[in-house]
Chains A and B, each alone.
Chain A
């Protein structure tokens, strides 16, 4: 633009600004004549709070008894956030972000007052990561609200919130959150470096940022956790991990993570230790079942009839005799059906979705067996493995497990047990190679770390759980003294 810098005369200024906003009808430009002085005010009508504009800005602006200067504007108007801006680009940017810009024609600088009005939803219950027991609060799309919640949960001045801007064309505000005395410097540097090195035109969401800064974006497994739960976020921060918030996104990123942390839920901590350990082990078993069950069925029925227990042989054989497809096709068909149901359930409006679940689950399943389309044992297996894949507390990990099944089934159909072994070895090697923010992904199994087994694979009572996860390399590993944590004092009623 030609006249992009101040000072400008009134007409010139108004025109330039209009062009800058592509003649937008929403841009309000108002010229006041106060004590013979022209004062220009502009804002976008729906970006600011109008009542505050009138009460706090216009009132004091018009009541002045002497001409305004830039200095006076900043000091005499009772608004806390005022800033001077000197270029047209800056003025435009401030207007977009909900500022009211006041310009005195001919001056070198304009003054921007922040009076933003953001349409955000209120804090709500968690939907995708719902807890039965424990805090129900979930993040919202507003960064300010989210930071507010985090500050409230972690009220210590140790909490560091760094601001970074990502996006060349559409800028997004990103906050890196960590505890200064705990978080490993190297981890923080890595996270900060990766975010600030990003050269992208825009970042749509936290999960997009996560995929962009992950160690291996092509892997099936997510390496950073996406969570909508502030309690999970804060819990991770207090263990020395690093969190990332992106404006306009209702989830937060946490890293570095291990494979096992995707199967942890904060609920395990709120439950008593025995139940916590039980649920955690249940999830691991469920994951293993979910991956292996259907391929095993395919392999056994295609190649290895020897391994079928004799007592199961008759019922398996008789239900299979009706089915016209080979087991691979049968399994793939049914897996697709389940995925179809899941996807339809997710896309359909809530009320219709429930009906669809019943229609798909019961009617289709029953009819498929009756029509000799699939064997009823496979229906049980598929339903079980689908159910098992939903037990992962992280939605992204659940989807990863569901995806892995398909190549496994195909391999089982092509090579039998050898194919399954091949696939499992492949997955294991892949997992061993993975890193999260440069930290090993398969910790504490590899590299083996005895102290980390507690609170990753199992959960012991809190007295025993006296260290922070070592694979995160926190600056301070000790949480508390084991003996002191267990100490109890009874006050005798006298």
Chain B
């Protein structure tokens, strides 16, 4: 009996092992980044950055471009151009041209999400220039894989609180959740280097508007809590006139710039009961003053207090301005609707009715800043 069972197991191993397709790493073209561009009315152009291992070549990284109607078709087409079998299990970055993203992302996202081989933690991005150009830039010769360096750039920015999370998982989550719209990093190229030019706002799955890095800061301030952020502000020139030092320094003229570091922010969104368009937002910030372009007497407690007030005023007005941008575009990347839903059982926000209500949003801000350190030795 026991022997029969052992023979059965051995047979199973031998027979079943034939069923699983082997994918030896050295025989694969391992795609690490894909870029999608508009090619025509019906077709898209895909650019794939991949690793392909050959004992004779020193650089393992290669880029192929192909055209097809579907994203899976791209790989099929590209397969005819490479010596190795192309696989998508290591895809960690997917870029979309802005024109393509404006037509709706879901049909590409859907296959990405359903393909178990593609990690949910892969990053997404929107590009202002054709992605083929971005991925073919070999700006640093040491890391020859441009997909890899763009991925690291986005990852670093997300870690440093400069960009909101850009993973496939977050995107799909925000897309499906009622009362919140997804965002993605916006990429561009400048003199043969890839750079993050801002943030792409989405209406459902369609790219609608781009906001600047400055505005991204305010979005992040409303979206999540800063642990270690940094930010520059321009205040009215004469805001701190009374505290200027008597001896006029060289920086007396020109605008007043303030640089804040180690920002630790807190956030409290309080929607009005039963009405999602009325919201109170309380933002508390603690930061360290690192740089100020005018010769202000920082030993004076009153000067610090005044500075705090000025910054608060500026942040508040900027936030209100930022809200206008959102209302114009009818998007809600902050998730005001979601915040309302979390606290109310009645008159719930849905994907359908929220879009119409966004222009009527009335958010009142309460900003509270505390400067912890300002680097002055007393």
Show the binding face of A for B, using Cβ within 8 Å: 300-303, 305-306, 308, 310, 313-314, 316-318, 320-323, 326-327, 372, 410-411, 414-416, 419
Contacts and interface: CB of A to CB of B under 8 A. Distances in A.
18 contacts: A300-B25, A301-B24, A302-B22, A303-B22, A305-B23, A305-B28, A305-B30, A310-B90, A314-B60, A320-B25, A320-B53, A322-B55, A326-B22, A327-B24, A372-B55, A414-B16, A415-B20, A419-B13
B92 interface: yes
B60 A318 contact: yes
A317 B119 contact: no
A300 B89 CA distance: 12
A316 B148 contact: no
A415 B13 contact: yes
A316 B25 contact: yes
Interface in B22-37: 22-26, 28, 30, 32
Contact of A306 (B16, B17, B26, B90): B90
A314 B51 contact: yes
Contact of B16 (A308, A317, A415): A415
Nearest to A418: B20
Interface in B1-32: 13-14, 16-17, 20, 22-26, 28, 30, 32
A313 B17 CA distance: 25
A300 B25 CA distance: 8
B25 A310 contact: no
Contacts of A306: 89-90, 117, 119
A317 B24 CA distance: 10
Given A303-B20, A320-B26, A321-B54, 8 more contacts: A302-B23, A303-B22, A305-B23, A305-B90, A310-B92, A318-B53, A323-B26, A326-B22
B62 to A, nearest CB: 12
Nearest to B22: A302
Nearest to B21: A303
User: Nearest 3 pairs between A and B by C-beta?
Assistant: A306-B89, A414-B17, A317-B53
Contacts of B60: 314, 317-318
A330 to B, nearest CB: 11
Nearest to B60: A314
Given A310-B92, A318-B60, A321-B53, A416 B148 contact: no
A3 to B, nearest CB: 54
Contacts of B54: 321
Contacts, number: 68
Contacts of A323: 26
A52 B30 CA distance: 85
Nearest to A415: B17
B24 A326 contact: yes
A322 B56 CA distance: 9
B371 interface: no
A320 B51 CA distance: 13
A306 B148 CA distance: 15
A303 B23 contact: yes
Contacts of A410: 13
A156 B26 CA distance: 67
Contacts of A313: 25, 30, 32, 51, 90
A306 B16 CA distance: 22
Interface in B93-141: 117, 119
Given A317-B51, A411-B13, A414-B13, A305 B25 contact: yes
B20 to A, nearest CB: 7
A308 B25 CA distance: 10
Contacts of B23: 302-303, 305
B302 to A, nearest CB: 52
B23 to A, nearest CB: 6
A184 to B, nearest CB: 32
A424 B17 CA distance: 18
B55 A317 contact: no
A318 B87 CA distance: 17
A321 B55 contact: yes
Contacts of B92: 310
Contacts of A316: 25
Nearest to A309: B90
A489 B54 CA distance: 73
Interface string B51-79: 10111000010000000000000000000
A321 B14 CA distance: 27
A414 B21 CA distance: 10
A16 to B, nearest CB: 53
A305 B87 contact: yes
Contacts of B28: 305
- Which of the listed residues A306, A320, A411, A416 has the most CB atoms from chain B within 10 Å of its own CB? A306
Contacts of B14: 414
B196 to A, nearest CB: 20
Given A306-B117, A310-B148, A317-B60, A301 B53 contact: no
A327 B89 CA distance: 19
A7 B178 CA distance: 111
A300 B119 CA distance: 16
A301 B20 CA distance: 14
A301 to B, nearest CB: 5
A306 B23 CA distance: 10
A239 to B, nearest CB: 36
A326 B23 CA distance: 10
A61 to B, nearest CB: 65
A402 B55 CA distance: 33
Nearest to A317: B53
A89 to B, nearest CB: 44
A322 B57 CA distance: 11
A123 to B, nearest CB: 46
Contacts of A308: 25, 90
A414 B9 CA distance: 13
Nearest to A327: B24
Interface string B303-327: 0000000000000000000000000
Contact of A305 (B16, B20, B89): B89
B30 A317 contact: yes
B87 A416 contact: no
B5 to A, nearest CB: 12
Nearest to A301: B25
B90 A317 contact: no
Contacts of B90: 305-306, 308, 310, 313
Contact of B25 (A317, A372, A415, A416): A317
A419 B60 CA distance: 31
Contacts of A318: 53, 60
A303 B87 CA distance: 12
Interface string B160-194: 00000000000000000000000000000000000
